[in-house]
Chains A and B, each alone.
Chain A
Amino acid sequence: MSLLKVENLTVALPPGGDRPHAIEDITLEVDAGEILCVVGESGSGKSITANAVMGLLPKGLAVKAGRIVFEGRDLLALSPEGMRRLRGARLAMIFQEPMTALNPVMRVGEQIAEAMRVHGAGAEAARRVPELLAAVKLPDPAATARAYPFRLSGGQRQRVMIAMALALEPSLLIADEPTTALDVTTQMQILRLIREIQSRRGTGVMFITHDFGVVAEIADRVAVMQHGRIVEQGPAAEILNRPQHPYTRALIAAVPQGAPGSAPPSSAPVILEAKGVEKTYRRTGGWFGPKPEVRAVHHADFVLRKGETLGLVGESGSGKSTLARCVVKLVEPEKGEILFEGADLRPLSRRAWKPFRKRIQMVFQDPFASLNPRRRVGEIIAEGPITHGAPRAAALARARELLALVQLDPGAMERYPHEFSGGQRQRIGIARALAMEPELLIADEPVSALDVSVQAQVLALLADIRARLGLTMLFITHDLRVAAQVCDRIAVMQHGAIVEQGPTAEVFGAPRHPYTRQLLDSIPGRGWTPPVIAA
């Protein structure tokens, strides 16, 4: 008899939503000792399902029909008090954002003990905390227990959440995208930790994610969701290698893999060279207090040839973004040279920079923050050329052409950014950069904030533009799969320094630096090469 059986579960959306039901006719099972991965893009209703099982649906959403049978009892029939007694004891949940998941003004140990105390563990609760923290492989459990959450890193906090969830040995653990916000290496450690605990205690796990790599890494069985429905369900191997439903097939096809196009000959002229660039952040301590320093970028010399795409790869805090911003003077490095076609850009004044502004442009990460919400799309694109003296009419006409280039309908000229999806906004960002007809384009994590399917389209657009205009590109990303697909050469960065750089095939095939190896190992589902899907 399975641990959890969800039958025809339907949850209604408040009127005025884009569809009548958040989730419709959901039927799935989770057995003890098994990991069920529920995968789907944002808006597919996977989180709603998880929250429905835990009885934590937000006020506006109500269960319309279906049953949730857990250990033989229908949870929907339970009184709120009955459900509360189960939560944390028999079934537990961990969430996506570790940074805000813990109460900032309460010590970590206290929050874990609370989970036990509310279920009647009394004095014994405090005693078991260090033991639990050790079980999730946290260094120095006693110190961690006394610490406040803001002292811990994202990964450490997620471990605390796991310890808290598994304190009372629940039979079912629901994990709502627990590793999405973490770095690749930390993500791998957490996935292995969940896998190990699950197999040791035979806990059933319902794992929510949007990343097929993660599915390949840990899933026993998979359920694929789209627009609130389960479109396909079955053993992981079946779904990953022989996807039946067209939506699943499209998703798998969108997973970035394969090698980039032909790299330009190494004899092409050098466009951009960084030599000895250094940037240090000094935190404003008190008048007399200590002034801690963070050396964001130090040994990071690299060369970029015309027509080539160099990938700057590394985890958050590695300095890849700071280095890129040094090139366009959004960040002022203290030392070093940034040569663009021989001219050193670093010491130039704001006015001296103006001619170079036309020749170097940048695309940003967050589609919702990179466009000025108060201006029309047409003006956003035409603004650059107009600043550099282009007549308004010509600039606007050029903007209309660019919209077509980035596959958006010209009618978008008059509309405001908030009327577009994430993917469309990113295209507008690209059009804005191209309006200046730059020779060098800097893309700072252009697709990280997009869903997998949309990500694939934008990457295809970039590849097409690069080929057509012969653009040179500096591509910043933390996702090695994307880097592998897009970049001719890769530079791996750690703690502000480039530890290894070379042609993509060499760096992926025969990594020399231990950190590069660890990075490659941490790619979830590395063993699985997605099947080539006929278009």
Chain B
Amino acid sequence: MEPSRLPGFLLRRGAKAAIVILAIVVCNFLLIHAAPGDPASVIAGQSGAADERFLAQLREQFGLDKPLHVQLWIYLKGVLTLDLGFSHRQQQPVWGLIAERLPATLLLTGAAFAFALAAGVTLGALAARRVGTWADSLITVVALTFYATPIFWVGLMLVLFFSVWLEWLPSFGMATVGVELTGVAAVLDVAKHLVLPAATLGLFYLAVYARLTRATMLEVADQDFVKTARAKGVPEGQVVRRHVLRNALLPVITFAGIQAGQLIGGSILVETVFAWPGIGRLAFDALLARDYAVLLGVFFCTSVMVVLFNLLTDLLYAVVDPRVEVEG
């Protein structure tokens, strides 16, 4: 795509993205408020003792007594200024809460995504190159196994194996707390904690990418331009790298882009099993405590991340595949 078209493209996609995100926020807001129960009753219930006045006070303080559309309007105004409201349960602005725990989720999903994509594509390509041999069937079986296994169960089994029996890796948390580590030691410590959760989240998507890469590689290998390359006397290795792989990666990139957004869903499960302080776990706790502001905040972030991922994928795709005239 010619660089001259980039600003126009970004403007169009930006506008479209904004509309989609706004629609999501409004839809979520209405959905959550349609649900029975509200934060006031939660806090009243959990604070050991409560009476009518206490409840009314809480409701008034949370602004829940105002009509729904007014609440929605207040919330939307807030969202535009990135003030995602106030978490009554944690007595903290939502943005602060999310900002605190977003890096952990980004680290987890990013590591899982990178691991899944790199290993998935390599294994997929290997299986395609040696199609029909034992290597191919082994990779296919392994991929199918992790594709068919529930993520949380994989997590549990990894904890059971690596942490409980072998005691190689820590089974929870993001870092050993209390022990003041700095610089490389701290990084290593977080890395050690990251291995099992990232593997758990990554293995499922590794299977997906491996199967997809193998399928597209086999499909592209049938195409005419591969035969042309061989007719030119191009050595087999170069045929696979420069011709087959490059074309086979296009659908994998698109799929990876769309899937990236779904990693957040997976992170809820992984963060629960591994006590990873991310926004997946935050969303789940907020859900159980009916803390709407936090819930909406997490949805807002996840939808922004998904839209960004889709934008990135389209851009990457336009760069890799010249045929694509990227429209708004």
Contacts and interface: CB of A to CB of B under 8 A. Distances in A.
Nearest to A287: B328
Given A105-B246, A114-B234, A161 B328 contact: no
Interface in A142-170: 148, 150, 161, 164-165
Contacts of A288: 8, 12, 328
B327 A104 contact: no
A50 to B, nearest CB: 10
B231 A54 contact: yes
B130 interface: no
Given A95-B224, A103-B243, A286-B12, A150 B232 contact: no
Contacts of A88: 231-234
A330 interface: no
B227 interface: yes
Nearest to A285: B327
Contacts of B246: 103, 105-106
A288 B321 CA distance: 22
A56 B231 contact: yes
Contact of B327 (A93, A103, A119, A286): A286
A100 B224 contact: yes
B235 interface: yes
Contacts of A165: 231
18 contacts: A56-B227, A56-B230, A56-B231, A84-B235, A85-B233, A88-B232, A88-B233, A92-B232, A95-B224, A100-B225, A102-B225, A102-B228, A103-B243, A104-B247, A106-B246, A118-B232, A164-B228, A287-B328
Interface in B274-328: 320-323, 327-328
Given A56-B231, A102-B225, A118 B328 contact: no
Main secondary structure of the interface of A (DSSP, over half): loop
B99 to A, nearest CB: 34
A4 B327 CA distance: 52
A477 B229 CA distance: 35
Nearest to A289: B327
B223 interface: yes
A101 interface: yes
Contacts of B8: 286, 288-289
A164 B322 CA distance: 21
A87 B234 CA distance: 9
Contacts of A89: 233
B112 to A, nearest CB: 28
B323 A103 contact: no
A115 interface: yes
Nearest to A104: B323
Q: Is the interface of B mostly helix, strand, loop or mixed?
A: helix
Interface of A: 54, 56, 84-89, 92-93, 95, 97, 100-106, 114-115, 118-119, 148, 150, 161, 164-165, 284-289
Contacts, number: 90
B224 to A, nearest CB: 4
Interface in B224-257: 224-225, 227-235, 238, 242-243, 246-247, 250
B232 A104 contact: no
A92 B230 CA distance: 10
A104 B225 contact: yes
5 cross-chain pairs, A with B, having the tightest CB-CB distances, nearest first: A88-B233, A286-B327, A87-B233, A286-B328, A88-B232
Indicate the member of B12, B232, B233, B250 with the most A CB atoms within 10 Å.
Answer: B232
A288 B9 CA distance: 10
A103 B233 contact: no
Contact of A103 (B225, B231, B250): B225
Max chain A Cβ within 10 angstroms of own Cβ: one of B233, B322, B328: B233
B12 A103 contact: no
Interface residues of B, number: 26
Contacts of B323: 104-105, 148, 150
Contacts of B224: 95, 97, 100-101
Contacts of A105: 246-247, 250, 320-323
Given A56-B227, A288-B328, A289-B327, A103 B247 contact: yes
Contacts of A287: 12, 328
B225 A101 contact: yes
Contacts of A161: 228
Contacts of A289: 8, 327-328
B231 A118 contact: no
Nearest to B5: A289
Contacts of A102: 225, 228
A102 B327 CA distance: 25
A521 to B, nearest CB: 30
Contacts of B320: 105
A87 B230 CA distance: 8
Nearest to A102: B225
B215 to A, nearest CB: 18
A100 B223 contact: yes
Interface in B36-86: none
Contacts of B230: 56, 87
Interface string B152-173: 0000000000000000000000
A181 B228 CA distance: 17
A355 to B, nearest CB: 43
A107 B243 CA distance: 12
Contacts of A103: 225, 228-229, 242-243, 246-247
A103 B320 CA distance: 13
B323 to A, nearest CB: 5
B187 to A, nearest CB: 38
Given A148-B323, A287-B328, A289-B328, A101 B233 contact: no
Contacts of A95: 224, 227-228, 231
